[in-house]
Amino acid sequence: MVNKAKIEEAVTMILEAIGEDVTREGLVETPARIARMYEEIFSGVDESCEELMAKRFHEPNNDMVLEKDIVFYSMCEHHLLPFFGKVHVAYVPDGEVVGLSKLARTVDVYAKRPQLQERMTNQIADAIMEQLGAKGAMVMIEAEHMCMTMRGIKKPGSKTVTCVKRGKFEKDDALVHDFYRMLQQ
């Protein structure tokens, strides 16, 4: 649960620390706006995928399911700057599938918290394996990190790609090849 009053106090202190006049017209409501924004963009902190993936559908077909180009926005836990991009999620069901929106919602649960891209990639794959009892899962994330583009090294347009494989995807090169082929379509 977000403590808006504490966030407002902290934002006021930051603005004062950088030499701003927190009473000027453009900044008077900024601490409250930031508190509301943090409540939204960090809403995944208190969420779990367990309930999200509880509703499943029996499906005897056990072929790969791929949902690609799921847009996400997250915040780097090192600098509290955004990183954003696309997630590609695939899984091989074991007699049960989940509604497709649940895959995108799973991405949001993990994206909407202070995060590392590497951890987020693993968390999404692990959630699919654990909550769906999938035979395999593969997750790839392509993201641009503002901590690399607007500060520090300043390399706009650079992307970080992470990929994890679980279950059948770890052992079946043809399945992995199909994943990459389907991404190109």
Residues forming the active site? 76-79, 117, 145, 147
Closest CA to 90 of 184, 9, 183: 183
Please state, as a whole number, how many other Cβ atoms lie within 10 Å of the Cβ of residue 52: 19
Contacts of 85 (CB under 8 A, 6+ apart): 71, 72, 141, 142, 143, 144, 159
Distance CA 88, CA 140 (A): 5
Closest CA to 169 of 124, 139, 145: 139
Q: How many helices (H) and strands (E) does the chain have?
A: 8, 7
SS3 content of the chain, % helix, strand, coil (to 5): 45, 25, 30
Closest CA to 86 of 105, 102, 71: 71
Question: Which DSSP helix (H) or strand (E) runs through 81?
Answer: none
